[in-house]
Structure formats: structure tokens, C-alpha cells
Amino acid sequence: MKKVVHAACPHDCPDACGVLITVEDGRATRIQGDPEHPVTRGFLCAKVAKYLDRVYSPERVLYPMRRIEPKGPATGAANAGEGPFDCRSGQVRATQNWQRISWDQALDEIATRFRGIIRDFGSEAILPYSYGGTLGTLNGASMDRRFFHRLGASQLDRTICSAAGEAGLKSVYGAKLGTEPEQFRHSRYIIAWAANIHGNNVHLWPFITEARRNGAKLVVIDPYRTRTAACADWYLPINPGTDAVLALGMMHVIIGENLHDSDYVSKYTVGFEALREKVKEYPPERVAQWTGIAADDIRKLAREYATARPSVIRLNYGVQRSEGGGMATRAIAMLPCVIGSWKQVGGGLQMSTSGAFELNSDALKRPDLMKTALGRKARVINMVELGRVLNTVNDPPVKALFVYNSNPAAVCPNHNEVIRGLQRSDLFTVVHEQFFTDTTDYADMVLPATTFFEHKDLQKAYGHYYMQVSQQAIAPLGECHSNVEVFRALAQKMGFEDECFRETVDEMIDAALDSGDLWLKGISRERLEREGHVRLNFVSQKDAGDGACATQAATQPFLPFAQGNFRTPSGKAELYSATLEAEGLDPVVEFTPPVESRHGRQKTGFPLELLARKADNFLNSTFTNVPSVQAMEESGLLEMHGSDAQARGIADGDKVRVFNPRGEVVLKARVDGAVQSGVVSARLNWAKLSPGFQSINALTSEKLTDMGNSATFYSVLVEVELAKPKASG
Ligand SMILES: Nc1nc2c(c(=O)[nH]1)N[C@H]1C(S)=C(S)[C@@H](COP(=O)(O)OP(=O)(O)OC[C@H]3O[C@@H](n4cnc5c(=O)[nH]c(N)nc54)[C@H](O)[C@@H]3O)O[C@H]1N2
Ligand SMILES: Nc1nc2c(c(=O)[nH]1)N[C@H]1C(S)=C(S)[C@@H](COP(=O)(O)OP(=O)(O)OC[C@H]3O[C@@H](n4cnc5c(=O)[nH]c(N)nc54)[C@H](O)[C@@H]3O)O[C@H]1N2
Ligand code: SF4
Ligand SMILES: [Mo]
């Protein structure tokens, strides 16, 4: 029997593609993009186009497994330390480490260990650790949260990706809303600001192509010459971590030359006078010294951006992975307010659209259950600081770690400290996973997880405004269970009687959609199941009673801030923020060059700025072990500028040692003009697929951003030298 099932890609990617899965006799035989989806329009990125290889990989975790050898990657691999090696051998090693057990045994053992830890150390000695494995609403954050709230476990502050940018954006707009991708086709001037569109957001590209066909100009601001930069009309390489000052310099020119929109500014913003004073300190000549962008180019950029209307900014999260990332996002977010481009179709800015999906989060996560367990809120642990927390926190120490939807042994900063913590023999670690990752190498128990082919979910997006239901296409492989089912079963083992642990998936989807939010009005599970995707219903409070207006709102371009409607305390775009002031931050914008940048390097003795970037063909550390995807990505490279290579006697293809006080990695030098002098770049991968079992996160730090307590993956100083040839024999 053959059927085609509608699903939605749940990977941590703004596009949230509509997907069609062909199933024949219970086996998925084809994956393709849903041509009906108005944004993702029938194509998939190269990695997900190969998804059958991932679902049916011989390396899937299919059964609960208990560790029988000491923690750590098995050492028997012939070429350990040499990598990358064929990950098939990884599977052989993985099974050697493990003993298959039943689900019942596994859950009993977890419940017993948890009870013992709670008795001896309190429930906050248990720490959940999850992030973006799936962004499905249910499998991302629902039954798991209920479980850990009811348990009274420590709470995890999920800051590893976007918290600084979120804080920066919200400080100006009060909400994570932005320009619809479909509107980019109407733009005349598009700035891709720290936005690797070809790599990370490929479904925006056709809209940009359409705009350019109609004469639009594409400008890219990125310290790395991405594929997007290579295709741009104008590429501006910027010194890492200096974006705030570029935005201030642009506003210096725009306001100084009276190119701002005084009508919009006076109606819908607060603090313009304070901003006008602030930007006086940033003339282009001064900004050029920080950013490495010539003063004349800064003037030209500002003038073009302010006058070629409509102009739009695709700001992505690259800027906010720096020490000053919150303020940089804040400064950039002011630009469309100052020039009033929010008024126009094809104007404004997009960093994230996720704030439009106001689901009933309390019903899904039940934070009230924390009170049942503890009588108060549980302590909060920042996921970025996992290394420090595992090694030093004592009040109480973390005695159990439950990892799902994440691979911290690859993605977390300060890798060596994370590994040191994960190696603790007194730490009980459970990992719910689809594969034997870097993190399962340190697990006491591994539980098999379904992929999105094998479970149903409700799918939001952070790069467009369509809600989808992702249907289950095939039965779970082996004994895989979804996150929802694992935490449901564990709740039962722990004896939690609350009704919410018995809710079905459909009941949870219904509860999620039942938030009373106007933009969700008329969007039911049944309708999503019927139509596949539904655009949010952008009706205003005023129009809500009027059916005709509501229908119109469903098809009209969405202009979130055309008439103000900012969700800040003042209701206006806050160019001056009293909230920031109360937190002791500069209420306008503060620019402090990162300590770990060329401006601080004299103090550290490490001269090169490292961009520890994502790979275009992987998704963080996901897909890195799929051979057909590996074939698309040349791994293990350190990209560097010719002058930096030459100064160190390094030629293209040489093995180099990249190091700083936190760690070292061995990579292959690539001298091809992707970075400016003073900057080097390497890409994320599994540690065990890398030479010496070292993630590039061995070099990154746990230092937090200025706002949002996020990670600083792009504020890293290193030195590079030729790797010593290995002694022969
Ligand atoms: N193919 C692929 N797609 C992905 C991912 C992936 O790993 N691979 N990851 C997904 C995830 S989790 C996320 S959060 C999104 C993120 O997507 P993006 O926000 O695009 O995140 P990054 O790739 O971290 O950074 C974007 C760009 O910012 C640049 N950059 C670094 N530092 C600076 C700086 O100081 N200033 C400026 N102007 N630019 C800088 C980087 O070189 C990079 O090209 O993408 C998602 N999509
Ligand atoms: N150096 C450096 N480090 C980075 C970044 C960077 O740019 N540079 N980017 C950072 C960013 S932006 C992010 S978002 C984080 C991402 O960090 P993570 O969210 O940890 O992302 P992944 O590495 O993709 O790991 C997700 C894991 O979840 C598993 N998984 C997928 N679906 C499910 C499921 O349904 N159930 C369960 N139980 N497991 C599932 C996958 O197999 C995968 O191993 O990494 C951060 N780390
Ligand atoms: S990873 Fe992104 S681009 Fe690729 S299929 Fe998923 S949502 Fe689409
Ligand atoms: Mo991310």
C-alpha cells in the first residue's frame, strides 16, 4: 500500500519546511518538499533531502542500552586521534560498550536512581538538558517540562543559541516579530546581516532572487565570505563583534543627513533625541577603525539603505554570538524604526518570527507543578555553563543529567570542561537519542528516540508565519519512543498521578492551540490536518469581531509595526529603554569591543579571532554522521588568510594546531580568501569524528553575552602553528 503523508521538518532551522513523505508497505520510500507550502515551495535543503539515509541508518539507537564499560569513547578504534574515521566503526564500538535492556528495566533503573538522588541530595540535584533536536511543539517542550517540574528538578536556562538576540530585539520591539519572507520579493535593498542565507535559511533565497530580478541590491555584512556573500552585489567583511558600532555609524549618517523618517519616529518611537546624541559619537571615520569597513563605504551603505525604499534587513543570529551581542542586535533593530521602513511591504527587519505563535505554553509545560514538588520555583542553571556546573557547583551538586534533543559533548562551549564533568563516575547520565553521539559516549544509559517520521507533532516556525501539523508517517523503528512517550512512561514509574501525564498527543495539540490568542483564531488541529499548513490569522483586536476583516487579514501582507503596535512597556519602539537603564545597562546602546577580539588581543597574547561556525551541510552537530551528507561537507578545515598563514610558515593543506588556554584542535589549513587577515574559521562537527576527539568547542569559552546570558561562540582568540609531524614507528 502506498500513501503520501504531510509532515513538517522539525530541525532547528528558520524555514520549518512543509514535507511530503511517501510510504510504501510501511516503509518511507521518498521525501520531498511540499509544493503547496507558500514559503518553502516544494524543495528541501540538501541534508534533509537525504533524510531516508538518516532514518534508516544502520547506526540508529534502536533499543535501551546500559553502559558496561567505563565512560568515554571506546579507545579501541584503529585510528583514534587520527580522524575523521568511518563512522560505521563508531557503531561497532558503540555496541561493544553497551548491553541491551528492556524499557521496563531502563525506566525502573532511572526511577530508582532518581529516588535515591532526591533522598540524598534533593530533587534539584537532577538536571534536564535539552535544546533544538526537534522544534516540534510537543517533543520540544511539553511532557518533558511537566515531568521535570513535577519532579522538582533544576530548571535549565536554554540560552545556547538566541537569548542575547532575543533580549536585544525585545528591548526595542517588545516581541520577536519581523518581516515575512514572502515580502522580500518586494524589497529594493536587502541587507543580509550576519545571515548565511544559502547555508542556514535557504528558502529565503528565491524571494531575494525575485527581488534582484526587479533591480534590488543585496548587501552582505559578515566576517566570513559565505556563499551568500559570494553571490551578493556588495560584500562588506566586518571585524567580528563590531556590529553595534556599524549600526551606530549608519545612524550617525542617516540622522546627520536628515534621511530619517521624522513622522514615524515621532509617532512610534521613544528616545530619539537620546539616540541622536549617542550617534554623534560615532562618525564613519571612527567606526571604520573598529569595523574595518571604510568610512566612505559606511556613508554609502547608510545613504542607500535609507533611500532605496523599501529596504529590509535579514538579521540572523551570528551577531549575537559575541560578547556584546545583545547591544549589537539592539542597535541594528533600531535601523528600520529610524528610517520608518516598517510602514512598507518589503520593508522592516526579520530576525525571528516566533513571537507570533502564542500557544498555550502553561498548559503544555505546567510550571505550576514545580510548586507541588518544592513549594517554590526550582533553581535555574544556564546550559552554556554546563562544564562549570558539573565540575564546581555544590549546592547541591548535579548528580543526574537527563539529556534529550541535544548533544552537549559537541555543541557546548568549553568542551574540555564539559567532558571532564561528564566523566564523573558519580554522575548518572541518561541520554535519549537517535544516534550514538559524543554525549552518549558518557551516558550510563541510552534510550532510543524516534525521528519526525515516527511521531506526530505541531510545528511553529521562526522564519515564517505558517503553523503546521506534522503527521506520523511510519511506525517507530526498533523500540524507539518519542520524547512525549518517554516522559509519560517515566512519570508513571515515579508514581505521578496528575491527569496531565495521561493526555494524548491530540489532546496536547488541542490544548496548545487553545490559548485565546487572536492570531490563532480559527486554527484548529482538524483544520491543520486537513490543510497541512495555515497562515496565522493576523487580525487586530479592533477587527476581531468582524468576519470580513478577519478573512482579509489572512491574506494581506503582515506589517507588524506599520502603525507602532510595539509590545514594549511604552508601546513604542524603545530607542531609549528605561528597562535597560534599571538593569544598569546603557539605555540607548553601549559598544564595548569584545575582550576576545583584535581589540583585546594584546592583553591575551592570542592574536587570531576564531569564528567557530556551523557547517553549511550539517545542522549544528546533527547529520555529521550520515555518510551521504558527510560527502557534501569537507570537514576538519581551518580557514585562514594568506598573510596569517605565511607569517607562520603554513601552506594550504598543512596540518595545523589551533590553540588557546582552554584547549587545542588539529585541523587542515585552507587558505582561500574566506576570511580577512586576523580572522580564522572552523566548523562544528562531532568530536569523535574529528582528530583527537576534539570539538572546536575546546577553544570556545563559557563567557556570557552582555544581555540574555547567551553563549559567545564568535568571541574567541586563538593562535595557530604548524602541527608537529608525528614521530614515526
Ligand atoms: N545548514 C545549517 N543550517 C542551520 C544550522 C546549521 O548548523 N547548519 N543551524 C541552525 C541554527 S541552530 C540556527 S540558530 C540558525 C542560525 O543561523 P545564523 O543566524 O545564520 O547563525 P550563524 O551561522 O551562527 O551566523 C550567521 C553568520 O554570522 C556570521 N558572523 C559571525 N560573527 C559575526 C559578527 O560579529 N558580525 C557579523 N556581521 N556576522 C558574524 C557568521 O560568519 C555566519 O556566516 O541556523 C539554523 N540553520
Ligand atoms: N562552536 C559552535 N557551537 C555551537 C554553535 C556554533 O555556531 N558554533 N551553535 C550553537 C547553537 S545556535 C545551537 S542551537 C546549539 C545546538 O545544540 P543542540 O540542540 O544540542 O543541537 P544538535 O547538535 O543538532 O543536537 C541535537 C540532538 O538531538 C537529537 N534529536 C533529534 N530529534 C530528537 C528527538 O525527537 N528526541 C530526542 N531525544 N533527541 C532528538 C539529534 O539526534 C541530535 O543529536 O549548538 C550551539 N553550539
Ligand atoms: S533543515 Fe531547514 S531547510 Fe532543511 S528541510 Fe528542515 S526546515 Fe527545510
Ligand atoms: Mo541555534
Ligand 3 binding pocket (C-beta < 6 A) is 9, 11, 13, 15-17, 44-45, 48, 202, 619
Ligand showing the shortest atom-to-Cα distance for residue 227: 1
Ligand showing the shortest atom-to-Cα distance for residue 132: 2
CA dist 125 and 113 (Å) reads: 12
Cα→Cα distances 518→56, 364, 513, 533, Å: 41, 19, 11, 18
CA dist 678 and 719 (Å) reads: 10
Cα→Cα distances 328→177, 201, 290, Å: 17, 21, 13
Asked if residue 613 has its Cβ within 6 Å of ligand 2, the reply is yes
Residue nearest to atom 3 of ligand 3 (CA): 45
Residues with Cβ < 8 Å from 124, sequence gap 6 or more? 152, 153, 154, 374, 378, 379, 396
Q: Which of 17, 198, 200, when mutated, tests ligand 1's pocket best, judged by the most ligand atoms within 8 Å of its CB? A: 200
Q: Which atom of ligand 3 is nearest to the CA of 202?
A: 3
The phi, psi pair for 220, rounded to 5°, reads -120, 130
CA of 131 to the centre of ligand 2 (A): 6
Which domains does the chain show, CATH number per domain?
179-351+565-582 (3.40.228.10), 608-722 (2.40.40.20)
Residue nearest to atom 31 of ligand 1 (CA): 318
Q: Which atom of ligand 2 is nearest to the CA of 410?
A: 23
Residues with Cβ < 8 Å from 649, sequence gap 6 or more? 722
Asked if residue 135 has its Cβ within 6 Å of ligand 2, the reply is no
Asked if residue 109 has its Cβ within 6 Å of ligand 1, the reply is no
Identify the pLDDT of residue 691.
Answer: 84
- State which residues of the chain have pLDDT below 50: 76-92, 729
CA of 622 to the centre of ligand 3 (A): 12
Asked if residue 407 has its Cβ within 6 Å of ligand 2, the reply is yes
Q: Which atom of ligand 3 is nearest to the CA of 47?
A: 4
CB 353 within 8 A of CB 462: yes
Identify the pLDDT of residue 82.
Answer: 36
Asked if residue 666 has its Cβ within 6 Å of ligand 1, the reply is no
CA of 133 to the centre of ligand 2 (A): 5
Contacts by residues 486-493 (CB-CB < 8 Å, ≥ 24 positions apart): 486/404, 486/432, 486/447, 486/449, 487/143, 487/144, 487/146, 487/147, 488/143, 489/103, 489/107, 490/107, 490/110, 490/111, 490/147, 491/143, 491/146, 491/147, 491/150, 493/107, 493/108, 493/110, 493/111
Q: Which atom of ligand 1 is nearest to the CA of 197?
A: 20
Identify the pLDDT of residue 222.
Answer: 98
Three-state secondary-structure class, residue 60: strand
Identify the pLDDT of residue 424.
Answer: 98
Residue nearest to atom 3 of ligand 2 (CA): 411
Ligand showing the shortest atom-to-Cα distance for residue 383: 2
Residues, CB within 5 angstroms of ligand 4 (ion): 161
Identify the pLDDT of residue 692.
Answer: 83
CA of 152 to the centre of ligand 1 (A): 35
Identify the pLDDT of residue 79.
Answer: 38
Ligand showing the shortest atom-to-Cα distance for residue 624: 2
